Every structure is written in C-alpha cells, then in structure tokens.
Chains A and B, each alone.
Chain A
Amino acid sequence: MLAVLSRGETYGYDILAQLEDAGLSGVGDASVYGTLRRLEEAGHLHSRLATSASGPARKYYTVTETGRQSYVSGADTWCRIERAVDLLMNGSRS
C-alpha cells in the first residue's frame, strides 16, 4: 500500500486497480480500505476529500514523512528477506 502511495497521491479504488495490475488480484477490497484507515490512524497517511466532476467525492491519500520512513524501512526488510529466500532456493549470492 505504501509502495503504491509513494508514487503519488491517489484514492482507494485506484489503489485496488494498481494492486491488481501488479498481480495482487487476491487482495480484498475491504482489506485495502481497512488498511488505509489503519495507516491514516497511525499517522502514515494524510487524506483529503476532493469532489469529482464525473463521480462521487473521492478521498485522496498521500504518504506523510512518518509513512515514508516506515515504507523505506519496510522495503529494506522486504529486500533482505527476498535475498535470503533467493539464497536458500538458488544456493548463490546475487
């Protein structure tokens, strides 16, 4: 979620579409909205309501500085796990 949002301000339905485009089609809609709320409550996201000419008023989210630090830390952890799994599976350091 933070990876998607770190690309720029966006809204829930678009986040879902980006996750699906990236191949994460199994992520439930409710999980995305629940997670958005949890991240916002934790101070990792900031939201604003913006009216749309063609549809309903959307809630746009941006990553806060705290959220950015959490994303960097999480991404680093993920990369280390990925390297470790790759090492275990392929038997060599990349």
Chain B
Amino acid sequence: MSSEQYLAAVELHLRDLPWRARRDLVSDLRVHLEEMPPGEDLVARLGTPEGYAADLRGAAGLGSPSGVLAFLRARRPRNLVVAAVVVAIAAASAAAITWSRSYQPLATGSVGVNPIPSTQGAVGETVAPFRNREPFQYGVSILNSGRFPVRILAVPIDPDFIYPFKVRAYVVPSETDFTKPAEAFHPFTLRPGHQRLIVLRGIYANCDQYITNSGVTLPSIPVRARFLLWTHTFWVDLRGPLVIRMPAHRDPCSTG
C-alpha cells in the first residue's frame, strides 16, 4: 500500500470528524509518512488504516460525532458556502419562475368595440348574430395593470381553433385617442397604467361547425407578451363574454 493510498484510507475512516480536526490529523500523518524510510511496510509499522484512524480518534478524544450538526461540521467550510450559494440561487430562480408564471400584468381596459349588430345580454354578455361571410369586428382594450412595462408581441388567435370567425388583429396607435384608425398589428410596449385598443377584424365563418339556434361563447382572447425576462401568452378576459349566436330558423351557412 502506497503512502497516498494509506493516507486516503485513514482520511476515509475519519470522515465524520470536524473538517479542521480531520485536516490537521491527515496533515500530521502526511508529514509522518514522508519522514519514514522509503519502502517501509506501512501496515506492518502503523497497523491497518482503520486501526490507525481509531487510535488517532481515541488519543485525540474526538469520539464519533453524529447528527446534523456533526455532518455539517465535517464538511469543508468553503464547500458549505458554495453549497449554500447554489441552494440560494436555485431557490431564488424557482421563486422567480413561480412568480413570473403567476404574474398577470394584463387586464381588460375600459374601451371596447362591439360587433354590429349586437345586443347586451342579461348577464353582461354581448350577443352578436352569426352572419355567414359578413364582416366581423370586435375591439377590446388591454390594460397594463402591473408595475413593469410589457411588450405586446402578438394576438395569437389559433387558426386551428374553431372560432365562428376568421380574423386578423389590428391595433389603434394611441393610448388616449381610441378613434384613430386601427393599424395592422405590430408589437408595441405598454407602459404601466396605460391601455391600447386591439381590434379583431374579419368575417363570420366556420358555420359548418355549429348547429342552428346554438351559440358560441368567447370569454377571453390570447395576448402574447414579454416582461422582464419572460414571455408568456396571457388570456385577457373580455369585458363580458362575447356570444356569437347561430340563426334560429335558417341554415346558418346561408348568407345573411
């Protein structure tokens, strides 16, 4: 057994001791081994590493510490600091991710544009009759109710989802004058406390998916947005559900 192997084996049997005591004892042994004549049979001279470690432990009065405190004291202080920093960073990252996922900075603003024709329902919903291939328009303002500027990236109406219309998104280029003509949607930054009017324009469509006298309710629209380091798709509730109602006594796919 080489000196290094003997040293490593003794240190292994002292691994429960406080790090500083273990370091000193192993350092003493290292010097001792270097003082010994080369080629000496270490086990014959010193005994087995386990026995040597037990003698050291007994003579030094160190016993066999156990418990959480002993476990921590047996670790190198620098390693404990590194471990604590890693744990703190991981915890902070997890907390930041959790917070970002629960953070909802977008809310419905005070301005809207209802389809024409439409009526107000009894429980606050807007009811519009489905008119196949006729123009459709609906506007909803989105408000930044959070504390950070939010970059609005898109209004990703999923074309695979069965909406009763085919639309594209537009945006009114003002935070105060909502009568300005809407422009084709382009990303913009929404400052805290400000709102912008998003307009969905297109045609009523997909009538084949609905049966006569039924209705389709839309409670919210998706808004893709980025704030700080995160990008999310937020679902912004409409001021009241939008209900597209199929005609009662006509083929819903007939025009008008």
Contacts and interface: CB of A to CB of B under 8 A. Distances in A.
A30 interface: yes
A56 B36 CA distance: 11
Interface residues of B, number: 27
B32 A34 contact: no
B58 A34 contact: yes
A34 B57 contact: yes
B35 A38 contact: no
Contacts of A33: 25, 28-29, 32, 56, 59-60
The SS class assigned to the B binding surface is: helix
Nearest to A34: B59
A55 interface: yes
Nearest to B31: A56
A31 B58 CA distance: 8
Contacts of A12: 28, 31-32
Contact of A37 (B21, B36, B46, B53): B21
A12 B59 CA distance: 14
A41 B61 CA distance: 10
A30 B34 contact: no
A30 B59 contact: yes
Interface string A13-29: 10000000000000011
A76 B51 CA distance: 33
Interface in B14-52: 21, 24-25, 27-32, 34-36, 45-47, 51-52
B55 interface: yes
A44 to B, nearest CB: 13
B58 to A, nearest CB: 7
**Of listed B21, B56, B61, B62, residue having the most chain A CB within 10 A:** B56
Given A37-B21, A37-B24, A30 B55 contact: yes
A36 B27 CA distance: 13
Contacts of A30: 46-47, 51-56, 59
A55 B35 contact: yes
Given A13-B35, A38-B60, A56-B35, A28 B55 contact: yes
B60 A34 contact: yes
Contacts of A35: 59-60
A34 B35 contact: no
B32 A13 contact: yes
A34 B56 contact: yes
A56 B3 CA distance: 14
13 contacts: A12-B31, A12-B32, A30-B53, A30-B54, A30-B55, A30-B59, A31-B59, A32-B59, A37-B60, A58-B31, A59-B27, A59-B28, A59-B31
Interface of B: 21, 24-25, 27-32, 34-36, 45-47, 51-62
Interface of A: 12-13, 28-38, 41, 55-59
